[in-house]
Structures are given as structure tokens and as C-alpha cells.
Amino acid sequence: MPMRDEQTRNYGDVLRHIVPEIHNALAVILGNAQLLLLGTTVNPEDRAKLKAIERGSFRIQTLVEELMQERGFISSSLRSQEHGASRRQHIRAVVP
């Protein structure tokens, strides 16, 4: 069992390092997509692509949060609060 405990700790260390990097990258991708969506000169084809980027970013964010919750790095109540705040921010950014 000591080997298994060490592997679990190593996995946790990797997650603690990678997750903030994923969140930072998602913030850049999502933020830029939402800024472009606010523009009135975006053609319908590009708007659809930006919406797909936005949806994909939210999906990745949810998956990472679920992984972190499963591993006990964040509580379910914190995750719900963060997800709700993220959705509210998204709605304010997309709906003028």
C-alpha cells in the first residue's frame, strides 16, 4: 500500500500544478471569445464558431472542477458557488 499512497500523492501534486494552468488558459480563451461575441460586426459563421469555443471552455472548466471535487481538492459547495458566479459573469458578458 505505501506505493499506492505515493502514487496518489504524486497524482495530487500534478493536479495542484496543472489545474491553475488550465484555468488561466481557459480564462484567456473564454474572455477573448466573449469579447469578440460582444462585437456587432462578427459575421454569423464566426459567431457560431465563437459560441462553440465558449461552450467548450465551459465544458472543460466543469470537467476540471469535477475532477478536483472527486479528489477532494475543492468542496461541492465551493464548486457550486464558483460555477454560479462564472455563469452570471458569462450571462452579463454575452447579454447586453
b/e map 67-82, b = 16+ CB within 10 Å: ebeeeeebeeeeeeee
Question: Residues 20-51: pLDDT tens digits?
Answer: 888 889 889 999 999 999 988 999 999 999 99
Domains contained in the chain, number: 1
- What confidence tens digit (pLDDT) does each residue in 44-72 have? 999 999 999 999 999 998 888 887 777 66
The model's pTM is: 0.61
Range of the domain at 8: 2-94
**pLDDT at residue 92, rounded to an integer:** 46
DSSP 25-41: HHHHHHHHHHHHHH-S-
